Structure 1
């Protein structure tokens, strides 16, 4: 099981990458930070970084204002 933003849960799939998860949930914001089990993952790893089973994933979109 993978928990997303402490709100959603999906079944774990072998080989599911961060990019795959973002596509599945239609996260399209330009500036997104992803944390897996408390670790901030560099954007360049999104296409190749597999999400482990029982992961706690946070997807945070940055918004600037003024």
Structure 2
């Protein structure tokens, strides 16, 4: 089990940041993601692993004027 934005999510072996985004249906193009306080770059979403018990924070960036 992992926690994503304070909500539990079932974990599976080999889970990546991209898997978390799909499971939570996060599609916003501008995201800041931390896994256990480590910043994950967008280019690494498909390869960055999420370990069992991880705390994941997904922040949606809003811009405008």
TM-score with structure 2 length normalisation? 0.91
- Cα distance between partner residues in 2 of 1:53 and 1:24: 15
Aligned residue pairs: how many? 65
Partner of 1:3 in structure 2?
3
Runs of 4+ that moved beyond 2 A: none
The answer for unaligned runs of 5 or more in structure 2 is none
1:51 positional shift: 0.3
1:27 positional shift: 0.6
What SS does structure 2 have at the residue aligned with 1:44? helix
Across the aligned residues of Structure 1 and Structure 2, the Cα RMSD in angstroms comes to: 0.9
What SS does structure 2 have at the residue aligned with 1:51? coil
The answer for unaligned runs of 5 or more in structure 1 is none
- Cα distance between partner residues in 1 of 2:34 and 2:46: 14
TM-score with structure 1 length normalisation? 0.90
Partner of 1:54 in structure 2?
53
